[in-house]
Structure 1
Amino acid sequence: MKKAMIFGLLACVSALSLGACGQQQPAAPPAPSVGTVTLTTESAELTNELPGRIAALETADVRPQITGVIRRRLFTEGSNVQAGQLLYEIEDAPYRAAVAQAKGSLATANATINSTALQAQRYKDLIAINAVSKQQYDDAAAAAQQARANVAAQQGALQAAQVNQNFTRIRAPISGRIGRSLFTPGALVSAAQTDALATIQRTDTVYVDVTQSAAQIIDLKQAMASGGVSEADGARIQLILPNGSVYPIEGRLQFADVTVDPNSGSVILRATFPNPNGLLLPGMYVRAKLVEGLRRNVILAPQQGVIRDPRGRATAMVVGKDNKVEVRQIEVDRAVGDKWIVTKGLNIGDRLIVEGLVNLRPGTVVKPGMPQQITVANGTGATGGAK
């Protein structure tokens, strides 16, 4: 009985052994496919996006220079006006009367000068024969001089009265688009008032005032001095409008202010932009993209190949020897389009992994290939594939 049980157990063990031998070991998983680009040196345009405001090329307030009641308004609000165009008329009756009075005073002075001049001439002839005293001649000559001076004074009074009369017709000081009128016919205005009647702004060309930190300006100048950055071919500026669209016409940088704002530590840069369609309005907030310079022979890494570790440091994965994944800690300067300028950690010829990064670990053997889709910005993207 015992022998039968022993033989039965041996038979079961043999059967299990034979079954185990018949099983095959599982095959190793295939190497994951990744998309790579081979890094090379390129030239990169350095741009900086700065906040700015639109300002009119010329601005003039329309103000009265005399006191009076507005009789007529002779323009349409929001229209374009030309320099010298008549805008307002002020009631001129008091000023016409002042001109007439000044003319009368001048006529009286002219009449007086004739009589005094003749008397002085007669006394001059009589004094030669001692017919009049020296004092009488001096008095007559002084009266003639006083009459001539009075004529000059009355001429000046007449001119002042005529100027004031001309001021009753208020004209445009510059050409441009005029805004709303703050005063209506019948309103009393004066030269001492603080409010302008209206404002004219020339906007066929506009200024864009942008602010840049003094530290950024110093960094750029030092980079140019060291030869790492060359000056851009003309300071070109592109505008990003409040709705996110790009203004189709490029502008030109005119100058940078000579002082730094002590409160913000920034410098004002002024650019000009053509505005033929009137799309740019004074006071509008915009973003200005300024081309600062050109950096040559730099490594540009696609942004999708640069990730941040839990400590916020920039890292990248490259395909190393034997197609094994290596992790590099890198340093980046700034973004250029959809790429980073890499200053440390990556070298020319490195195969940077830009696709298939999920679940990759250092040392993993991968199958490198061309990336499926790489967005190249501004035509400066580095492209490449597995070697």
Structure 2
Amino acid sequence: MKNFTSRSALKFSALVLSAGLAVTLNGCDSLTGGGDAKQNAGAGMHRMPQVGIQKAEPTQVPNTLSFTGRAVPFTIAEVRPQVDGIITERLFEEGQHVSKGDILYKIDDETYQALYDNAQAEIKKSQALLTNAELKVKRNQRLVKINAVSEQVLDDALATLREAKANLEANKAALKTASINLERTKIKAPVSGMIGRSSFTKGALVMNNQAEVMATIQQLDPIYVDFSVPSYYAAILKRAMKKNPEMNIEKFPVTITFDNGEKYEHTGHIKLSEFSVDESTDTIILRTEFDNPDTQLLPGMFIRGSVMTGYHKDVYLVPSLSLSRDTLGHAFVMVLAQDGTVTVRPVKEKGLYKESWVITDGLQPGDQIIVKGLQFIRPGIKAAVMGAKPDAAPSATKAPENAKEGK
């Protein structure tokens, strides 16, 4: 029991001695290093955050209106038969270009050829009857003069002549109709363009004025793009035309941007603007026309477009990440004042241009817009510009020569 008490006393003494040594060392540190600690603390207190700035410079950017729409064929023609019959040949490849007048299908023409031949024979018959009627009239005219026949006989001869002439004209019209129907057994392309799938094959029976389309031809070069735009865009375009009297609506350039960000190489122009507004969507249709030699634009394709109506002048460009908004949605940027104080500057923006916000109000030339280090600052604190040289510190006063070595 005594040994246990002695060992406990020794341990307690050791702990007390260690604590005393630690207090002594801390006291020494406070006596010898206190000045350095205060100096380090002061340096930490005066260290300012570094920020990157961009000086505000007025510039001009294109004033563009953006919208979406779909491509529409320049010309579209649905091929249907104009006579009844059975298809004997199909003379085109599906999906290929056809020219106006190319024969697409042939219909069995035996019946129509027979009708044409009969119409020709009827004309020859009518011509013979007409010749005979003319001879009778001439003969009766001589006989009437010598009272060999009555005038009634001459009148009958003249009526027969007139009837023969009318029959000849009717038969000529019948021949023309037969010729047209015979020609229509060759179904031709009404326009030039790309032809789609054929709905009928060789041996199929087709009928005049049938509802089902045999094939569809679409002219794709040039091609229309119909954009659905807000109705107030029409007012903007009219104001732009008033500012530029030499420009009409067709001279405003229209550009297309694909979903991958690439620009379409051909610039289009406005063909027309609808005169009525869709009440359900408050939009109008803006029809534009583009060259399409490589058929990059296809009917029904969803397209993003824009039209330039002029320029925004005396505006400022601010990187997209440098503009923030408050809880009410008002835009602002952080500006570094001349004395290095961070301030909040409310601004008005007009949308994005090449990944920068277009600022129309709130900035002045030479303003230092903070574009880097925004996470380290807040309004009212001081900040330093990244890479800026600090002000030169005052040089230490040299000791006089006679003060050296205690002299």
Instruction: Please classify the TM superposition score into its range, dividing by the shorter chain length.
Output: 0.7 to 0.9
1:186 aligns with 2:203: yes
Distance 1:319 1:23 in 2: 36
* Pairing partner for 1:367 from 384, 388, 392: 384
Which AA in structure 2 matches 1:70?
I
- Please give the TM-score of this superposition, normalised by the length of structure 1: 0.84
Distance 1:86 1:219 in 2: 49
Change (3 A) 1:117 1:73: same
Instruction: Work out whether residues 298 and 342 of structure 1, in 8 Å CA contact, stay in contact via their aligned partners in 2.
Output: yes
Structure number having the greater helix percentage: 2
Cα RMSD over matched residues?
A: 2.7
The equivalent residue for 2:18 is none
* Pairing partner for 1:279 from 277, 293, 296: 296
Distance 2:252 2:107 in 1: 49
Distance 2:384 2:248 in 1: 42
User: Deviation per CA, 1:342-361, whole angstroms, max 9, x where unpaired?
Assistant: 23322222111111101411
Unaligned runs of 5+ in 2: 1-22, 389-407
Q: How many residues align?
A: 357
Instruction: Work out whether residues 254 and 267 of structure 2, in 8 Å CA contact, stay in contact via their aligned partners in 1.
Output: yes
Shift of 1:262: 2.9
* Pairing partner for 2:89 from 72, 76, 79: 72
Which AA in structure 2 matches 1:128?
K
Q: Once the two structures are aligned, what percentage of the paired residues are identical?
A: 35
Instruction: Work out whether residues 88 and 170 of structure 1, in 8 Å CA contact, stay in contact via their aligned partners in 2.
Output: yes
1:84 aligns with 2:107: no
Which AA in structure 1 matches 2:284?
V
The aligned runs of 1:30-179 (5 Å cut-off) are: 30-179=47-196
The equivalent residue for 2:34 is 23
The equivalent residue for 2:401 is none
Shift of 1:222: 4.3
Distance 1:165 1:320 in 2: 89
Distance 1:231 1:363 in 2: 52
1:209 aligns with 2:226: yes
Change (3 A) 1:226 1:277: closer
Distance 2:237 2:162 in 1: 73
Unaligned runs of 5+ in 1: 1-11, 372-387
The equivalent residue for 2:404 is none
Change (3 A) 1:334 1:111: same
Distance 2:248 2:149 in 1: 90
- Please give the TM-score of this superposition, normalised by the length of structure 2: 0.81
Shift of 1:243: 4.9
Moved more, 355-364 or 15-24: 15-24
* Pairing partner for 1:352 from 361, 369, 372: 369
Moved more, 232-241 or 50-59: 232-241
User: What secondary structure is seen at the aligned counterpart in 2 of 1:105?
Assistant: helix
User: What secondary structure is seen at the aligned counterpart in 2 of 1:297?
Assistant: strand
1:300 aligns with 2:311: no
Distance 1:18 1:170 in 2: 109
User: What secondary structure is seen at the aligned counterpart in 2 of 1:204?
Assistant: strand
Shift of 1:90: 0.4
The equivalent residue for 2:267 is 250
Which AA in structure 2 matches 1:251?
G
Distance 1:216 1:370 in 2: 47
Instruction: Work out whether residues 37 and 370 of structure 1, in 8 Å CA contact, stay in contact via their aligned partners in 2.
Output: no
